[in-house]
Structure 1
């Protein structure tokens, strides 16, 4: 059941990763309150089922022994409109979550009515929650804003592109050959989804900025990868590499 979007006072997003094995398996709950000039937010994130793993098995996957995370604080209200729009456009399932896990919601309105639902558009809610958690990490300085660097070097032209994605503000800052501007959030998020689809061969990556012709990307870790040589499509049915090249060209 939908509550009226303009009467919402609180949304809770609860996620379970389902059958994903440890150390990746986790659950989280986001509680988001409206009605102020910020979103009153709490996050409780816990990693699960690690009891039978050794410390080395956890470390080898890039985790630590304490990856759980809690937050209570204020998130800029630039997030309120897209959250309410997502709620208003969602349709609901009558089924319970299965072993695959997913998102379930609790909504409360000004009259005290409470609605517990499972959205059919699971992927949209999961992506939104991930972005919102990334905003929390930025605000608490757990993580810095993500910055991508991209070079297009061809016979008669060269472009040096930097993209800084500020989740806390839902803002993307673009620099092309030193000229700065702000670009569309949603279009940039689409480009980001392509950037992290291919396989990156770190045996071919360079720490120094490349000097020869081609397209090159640094995903924020200081390693330069050549598009088409060190960045390879995983799925033959979808050409993410071409989407990356096309997306960065459109930014020029």
Structure 2
């Protein structure tokens, strides 16, 4: 019997955001094909139901009137292995998607093998988001995500940064001029937590603090102090503490 890894030569991911309101609501189709060895991609992303919104309302939410995007090209083949691993470990649901979600269509030698609905919706949606971000980086539409962090203990100041290169699926940690590659899953989970709490921009500074504490810059030029300018939203999930711990582990690790 031919294994899944050897038989599948591509995947088509189709997503509908469902009941999410505009300007956030969107659909996309991402076709991935590695039958020739390279990872070929075709992306069509369309934002929906914006007809009733003014341009000002769209801009206020951080979007533009022209956010639709189409692309055809190649990605680094480093993405093929994690795609196959996720496919092989996924359990498929017999339930129809009602309020938005993602579907997966496997391709074998270019042949459509039928639409599947993954039970692990969040994992597939995150994978698709990572792939789209990889496309944006590859075509220079967006720069790699860089998080700067400062830890101040007594008179010791430690500056470091975490840069996520989606284009090559690699995360670089830098401290005192030295850099190293860190575990992808660990780093992505930490980045996800970084964007979980509430950032109070009225308390933000253009320079990192020098008093005892921890300070973070999420790439927009503003520094926020954890515990003062960065506050937990959910009292049952201490994101601020997890950010401190995550970066402290990176700082202490070699």
Match of 2:131 in 1: 132
For the residue of structure 2 that corresponds to 1:203, the secondary structure is helix
Match of 1:83 in 2: 83
Q: Please list the CA deviations of residues 89-138 of structure 1 after superposition, one character each: whole Å capped at 9, or x if unmatched.
A: 0011111110x200011112138461311000000000000011000000
Match of 1:203 in 2: 202
Query: What is the TM-score with the length of structure 2 in the denominator?
Result: 0.95
Structure 2 unmatched ranges of 5 or more = none
Query: What is the TM-score with the length of structure 1 in the denominator?
Result: 0.96
Distance in 1, Cα, partners of 2:33 & 2:178: 38
Q: Please list the CA deviations of residues 112-167 of structure 1 after superposition, one character each: whole Å capped at 9, or x if unmatched.
A: 46131100000000000001100000011110000110000111432111111000
TM-superposed deviation, 1:175: 0.8
**Change beyond 3 A, Cα 1:113–1:16:** closer
Match of 2:24 in 1: 24
Distance in 2, Cα, partners of 1:46 & 1:113: 23
Match of 1:51 in 2: 51
For the residue of structure 2 that corresponds to 1:168, the secondary structure is helix
Match of 2:9 in 1: 9
Aligned pairs for 1:1-252 (under 5 A) are 4-98=4-98, 100-110=99-109, 112=111, 114-252=113-251
Structure 1 unmatched ranges of 5 or more = none
Contact 1:5 1:87 in 2 (8 A): no
**Change beyond 3 A, Cα 1:249–1:140:** same
- For the aligned residue pairs, the C-alpha RMSD in angstroms reads 1.3
TM-superposed deviation, 1:48: 0.2
